[in-house]
Amino acid sequence: MNTLAQVVTAFSPLLVAVVVGLFAARERRQTSSAKVMARLTAEAGVHEALPEGSAARSIVAAQLEATASKYKATCEREDSFRRDKVGLAAGIILGGGGLILGTWAALQGGGYLWWFALALPAIMIGVPGFFVELAGGSSRDAARPNGDGAEPPTASGSG
């Protein structure tokens, strides 16, 4: 029974890393261009469904043109993203080191468990840092159209 408790405790750093990694990757999972393309596809479907010559169809056509130009600009911006290899390596080393340290401390038990308290911050900093850099890091933030990390409003007022 004691061995089972040690094994469960040993895998807890891995569980922390997975949970933290999922939250870190959540926002950056889908690129902006993919979101704009989904919107463009939906608008094209609406455009095709409307009757030829209707006023609504011409309004949707104008919005379709605006979305297409936004898609082009978004793709050009995303092409400028760079991944910092040092940041990726630091995330792997810090997160991996935290995993190894936490697992070792959990398996040793007793007086070694205080090392587990040092492993958790390493995991919680290294894993999200890795995912941030994987998604473009600071070059992604600098390439935002307003330079302040906010998307500009579109002609229809929605972001």
In terms of average pLDDT, the best of 20-29, 39-48, 123-132 is 39-48
- The C-alpha atoms of residue 44 and residue 41 are separated, in whole angstroms, by 5
pTM to 2 decimals? 0.51
The closest of 83, 96, 70, 95 to 28, measured between CA atoms, is 83
| pLDDT at residue 149 greater than cutoff 60 | no
> Bigger pLDDT: 33 or 31?
33
Lowest mean pLDDT among 85-94, 124-133, 148-157: 148-157
Per-residue pLDDT tens digits for 32-86: 778 888 888 998 998 899 888 888 888 989 999 998 998 888 887 777 777 778 8
Give pLDDT, residue 150.
47
Look at residue 159 and tell me whether its pLDDT is greater than 50.
Answer: no
Confidence grade of residue 24 (pLDDT, cut at 50, 70, 90): low
Q: Are 116 and 48 in contact (CB under 8 A)?
A: no
The pLDDT, as a whole number, for residue 9 is 67
**Cα–Cα distance list, 122 to 28, 127, 154 (Å):** 21, 8, 40
Whether the predicted pLDDT of 117 surpasses 60: yes
